[in-house]
């Protein structure tokens, strides 16, 4: 009897181990999503309710809803969330993560649902002494060390200043007071952030536009079934106008699902 019981337990364990990642998600009835909670307007906490919200947070909430899954958010720094996806601790990372060829070698990206381009946040009174991107040489650029925008700043000779999952206010205030000079980032996120702190000496640079970009949800390279199901509902949401509606709510009426008119 003991031997039979032991064999039965081993078979059960093997069955669990052989289940795909998608089958485990379905069995548990939930997905785990990494996001920063500090990135206006894609992932942040509402000042009044302290509820996690933002463009990408609400997009992934609707994805989970259409897949009949509960959702558990984990607030992590940028580098940590990608590592957690890579090790299988997190199912999806949702934090305005740009789709690049290098990242596609290590991760699955969903169908893109946000299109934008790069801009620069500078001081309002003197534009931080920057006329073009070439003027970044020797300037202090704030951001995440592994972001696409920090890579651009480094290539242009800027001095890198990084933070550990700091809030937008910290980044923006440091530019305003001169601790740093510039933040290279996504146009829509930068516009929202600058508008949120009107008393700071910051503005969007009027002449700098570069690097058209696409954003998608990030998944583990092995989780093909999750990719298929996420893409299915994202395409539904793009077609039925759900993405457009969520975008308008967080980006002052703008539709980020449409590609911008920029080379």
Q: What is the total residue count of the chain?
A: 263
DSSP H helices in the chain: 2-18, 21-28, 55-66, 78-86, 101-104, 148-155, 168-177, 187-196, 224-239, 242-250
Stated pTM of the model = 0.81
Q: Name residue, tokens 């146009």.
A: 187
Answer for the pair 113, 244: CB distance below 8 angstroms, yes or no.
no
Specify the pLDDT at position 52: 98
In this prediction, residue 17 carries a pLDDT of: 52
CATH number of 116-212: 3.40.190.10
Q: Hey, what CATH topology would domain 11-113+216-250 get?
A: D-Maltodextrin-Binding Protein; domain 2 (3.40.190)
pLDDT at 6: 38
What residue ranges of the chain are covered by domains with CATH 3.40.190.10? 11-113+216-250, 116-212
Whether 55 contacts 246, CB under 8 Å: yes
Residue numbers of the chain with a pLDDT score lower than 50: 1-16
Please tell me whether the peptide bond between 29 and the residue prior to it is cis, using omega within 30 degrees of 0.
Answer: no
User: What is Dmax (Cα atoms) for the chain?
Assistant: 82
Among the listed residues 119, 115, 149, the one whose alpha carbon sits nearest the alpha carbon of residue 261: 115
Predicted confidence at residue 263, as pLDDT, reads: 61
CB 194 within 8 A of CB 202: yes
Give pLDDT tens digits for 167-226.
Answer: 889 999 999 999 999 999 999 999 999 999 999 999 999 999 999 999 999 999 999 999
Q: What is the pLDDT of residue 62?
A: 98
């Amino acid at each position: 009897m003991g031997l039979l019981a032991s064999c039965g337990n081993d078979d059960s364990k093997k069955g669990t181990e052989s289940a795909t990642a998608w089958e485990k998600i379905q069995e548990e009835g939930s997905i785990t999503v990494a996001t920063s909670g500090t990135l206006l307007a894609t992932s942040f906490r509402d000042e009044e309710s302290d509820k996690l919200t933002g463009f990408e947070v609400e997009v992934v909430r609707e994805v989970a809803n259409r897949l009949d899954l509960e959702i558990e958010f984990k607030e992590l720094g940028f580098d940590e969330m990608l590592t957690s996806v890579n090790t299988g601790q997190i199912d999806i990372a949702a934090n305005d993560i740009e789709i690049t060829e290098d990242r596609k070698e290590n991760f699955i990206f969903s169908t893109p649902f946000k299109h934008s381009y790069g801009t620069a946040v500078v001081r309002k009174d003197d534009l931080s002494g920057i006329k073009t991107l070439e003027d970044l040489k020797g300037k202090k650029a704030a951001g995440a060390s592994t972001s696409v925008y920090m890579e651009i700043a480094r290539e242009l000779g800027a001095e890198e200043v990084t933070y550990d999952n700091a809030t937008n206010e910290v980044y923006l205030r440091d530019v305003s007071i001169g601790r740093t000079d510039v933040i290279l980032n996504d146009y829509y996120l930068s516009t929202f952030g600058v508008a949120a702190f009107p008393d700071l000496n910051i503005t969007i640079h009027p002449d700098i536009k570069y690097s058209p970009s696409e954003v998608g949800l990030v998944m583990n390279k092995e989780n093909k079934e999750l990719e298929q199901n996420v893409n299915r509902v994202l395409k539904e949401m793009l077609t039925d106008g759900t993405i457009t509606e969520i975008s308008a709510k967080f980006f002052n009426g703008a539709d980020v699902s449409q590609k911008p008119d920029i080379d």
